[in-house]
Amino acid sequence: MDTKKTSQSPLESEKGTEIHSRHIHVSTFECDGDAVIVEGRLTDRRFVEIKLITGEKSPPAAIHDMIIRLKARVSWPPVILDVEVEMPQIPHEDCLETRKSLVFLKGKTISKGFSAMVQEETRGIKGCRHLSGLLLAMAPAALQGIFTGRAEDGIPKKEVAGLLNTFFSDTCRAWRKDGEVMKRVLKTL
């Protein structure tokens, strides 16, 4: 389905100079046998000079560059086997103290309730808002990557019904229980 625009939108035409960007990139890589590595990277960049609360001027710069890597078993539900955090660029040295804030993920599954668990375990001074945001963005991408890894050899039909119910059903408009996509997939089982 092609949804390319044929004309510029009103808000697009109002954009001025870019002052800040945040990019989140998530990739999934093959790993040993029944696992994958899911890597997420968050980068924040400021393109203008600002005046800090202290009165000091701060030039344009990279503000955050943070990486999370998860090793996950290609199973249903996927189990997180290991986690690591890198922080090549941070605004404050204290940020480094949060690198171990995600170790609670080892042994956890990426399934319903994952986002609530992450928010609970990392809120406030226990974690880093940027790492939490990156991890929450990684979860659905991780499922896509894990599903892709599992589907390379085809998923047995007996597993598909469970996957539909656990990971797809009512997760968005297209995958609603009474929608055309779900009906079409269920007919193939």
* Tens-digit pLDDT profile for residues 139-174: 999 988 888 877 767 777 777 777 777 777 888 899
What is the C-alpha separation between 31 and 73, in angstroms, rounded?
10
DSSP code string of 135-150: HHHHHHHHHHHHHHHH
For 149, residues 6+ apart whose C-beta sits below 8 A from its C-beta are 28, 30, 36, 74
* Tens-digit pLDDT profile for residues 70-94: 999 988 889 999 999 999 999 999 9
pTM reported for the whole predicted model? 0.86
User: Domain boundaries in the chain?
Assistant: 17-150, 155-189
